[in-house]
Amino acid sequence: MSTAEPSAAVLRLEAVRKTFGRSVVLRDVDLEVAPHTVTALIGASGSGKSTLLRCANLLEEIDDGAIFLDGEEITDPRVDPDTVRRRIGVVFQAYNLFPHMTVLDNITLAPRRVHGVPRAEAEERARELLERLGLGGRADEYPDRLSGGQQQRVAIVRALAGRPRLLLLDEITAALDPELVGEVLGVVRDLKEEGMTMVLATHEMGFARDVADQVCFLDGGVVLERGTPAEVFGEPREERTRRFLRRLVEAGRL
């Protein structure tokens, strides 16, 4: 009903509304993510960044509006959410690795069980990805024995192993110390070079300015301001954006 203009966007949100009980977490959110671009969602904690990502992966059911993946409405109740999620990779803030599996098993679980890749092939690709992210020797370790930065890189490899069309990154560096942050953000930068389409919620403004093609400032569940990093960080139009950025500068984070 609403595919009026054929859009090339990988991910598109149309008037998305999401409530938890009485509180409205997302209010009329529109968003368009073009292929091979990076969209950074910024804003204070509780502004709805994580909820937006969870909705896009159908981990939350939206109240109203629609979400499209490659032009197909994924919020249609007749769509099988599993087939949608197979095309989207997610990296969580707290890594969410399976503690009872080795790194290699964590990564090859979905390729083998969901995508039907033979074990040898899945493991070869997993090792190749691990190698590229500097985790070559860690394949047979258990997650609890790795550092936070290493765990988060494993989580990224796990999300990439299914060759997703879109990668959602939910404050993936929030639990890491500055040294490890660089390690993880370097990986994201490499992914952008390779043309991966990504949406990331982040508090790393320097990184967002650096790597994003589009920056969205969320405030109270509304996309208050959006544009290129230069526009949003350079000459914000909204007073609240200016206040948010000023506070970050004062905190020495920008």
Q: Please report, as ranges, the residues that interact with other proteins according to CB under 8 A.
A: 1-2, 4, 14-15, 17, 19-24, 27-28, 30, 32, 54, 58-61, 63-66, 75-78, 99, 214, 226-228
Residues facing residue 217 across a β-bridge: 42, 225
Q: Work out how close the CB of 119 gets to other proteins at its nearest, in angstroms, rounded to a whole number.
A: 26
Nearer Cβ to other proteins (1/120): 1
Nearer Cβ to other proteins (122/221): 221
Q: Work out how close the CB of 2 gets to other proteins at its nearest, in angstroms, rounded to a whole number.
A: 7
Q: Work out how close the CB of 118 gets to other proteins at its nearest, in angstroms, rounded to a whole number.
A: 27
Nearer Cβ to other proteins (40/130): 40
Cβ neighbourhood burial of 249 (10 Å; 0-12, 13-18, 19+): exposed
3-state secondary structure (DSSP) of residue 169: strand
Residues listed for the chain: 254
Q: Work out how close the CB of 253 gets to other proteins at its nearest, in angstroms, rounded to a whole number.
A: 25
In this structure, are residues 103 and 135 in contact, taking their beta carbons and an 8 Å threshold?
yes
In this structure, are residues 42 and 239 in contact, taking their beta carbons and an 8 Å threshold?
no
- Assigned token pair, 37: 């671009």
Residue written as tokens 């490899």? 157
Kind plus residue range of the DSSP H or E element containing 39: strand 38-42
Nearer Cβ to other proteins (197/214): 214
Q: Work out how close the CB of 210 gets to other proteins at its nearest, in angstroms, rounded to a whole number.
A: 19
Nearer Cβ to other proteins (62/117): 62
Give the separation between CA 4 and CA 189, rounded to whole angstroms: 34
